[in-house]
Amino acid sequence: MAFFYSIRNVFQDLVIQNALYDVTVDVRVKTLRPEEAIGYPEHQVCHLINGRERMLEAEFLGSRGQAFTDMYGSFSGTLAEVCATALTDNYQRAVFLASLNAVARHLGFVEKTVHCGADRPPRCADRLVSYVKEDYGHARVALVGFRPRLVVALAQEFELRVTDRDPNNVGQMKYGIRIGGPMQTAENLAWCDVAMVTGATLTNDSIRELLLEKPTVFCGVTIAAAAHFLNLTRFCPYGT
């Protein structure tokens, strides 16, 4: 929880400095349509459609922030209530992160706090391949958190290992890669040259195990504000 204490302190400072304690934030469950999640694919390969995760979307004074989670529900309350959240389960952390993203977006600290759609998800995967090549060369890549589009693209260009927490994925062959479980993550991180980590690891609080000395890139909208305030490398070229 030390990681979240740091983020909570940042959030509380934002709220205090901008006199926002009594302002309300509304959070709702958002299930993305296929074209929002994966564009217009020739086959469905999106974890959001076939898996357990959903998106929580916070709306704050006209700004939106999102977070992926496998525990979901709606919330409406003041930012004082959000800041006081216990952060002991994935639902509480997702509400907190979506709200933080919306507030940081409203205050102008971050952009790209809303998941991309239309033709952008496959383009995002292609951009990630180019990004890895340009910054890390022909690297060994460990992907933490199964994201089908990323697996398909990365596996074509790099040595790739993937782990996921969803028991429906662990041990399965997906797009030519056998998906490992959480117990294999440490081994994969020791093996790789660069770690690609989905932002949902912040929601499930496994991120504390993934703050490495070697290059680590966090992907997606969930970690938008946290990456900015804690100086983490984030990849999200097509978020809105």
pLDDT tens track for 167-177? 999 999 999 99
Q: Tell me which amino acid residue 149 is.
A: R
How does DSSP classify residue 144?
Answer: E
Task: Enter the tokens of residue 15.
Answer: 């709220």
Note the pTM of the prediction, 2 decimals. 0.90
Task: Enter the tokens of residue 31.
Answer: 């299930």
Q: Quick check: 47 pLDDT over 90?
A: no
Q: Where are the alpha helices (DSSP H) in the chain?
A: 2-17, 34-38, 47-50, 79-83, 90-106, 120-136, 148-155, 185-191, 200-203, 224-230
pLDDT tens track for 116-127? 876 787 889 999
The CATH fold assigned to 120-235 is: Rossmann fold (3.40.50)
Task: Enter the tokens of residue 92.
Answer: 């509480």
Domain boundaries, the chain: 2-106, 120-235
CA-based nearest residue to 194, from 126, 144, 236? 144
Mean pLDDT, the chain, rounded, equals 89
The arithmetic mean of pLDDT across residues 23-40, rounded, is 68
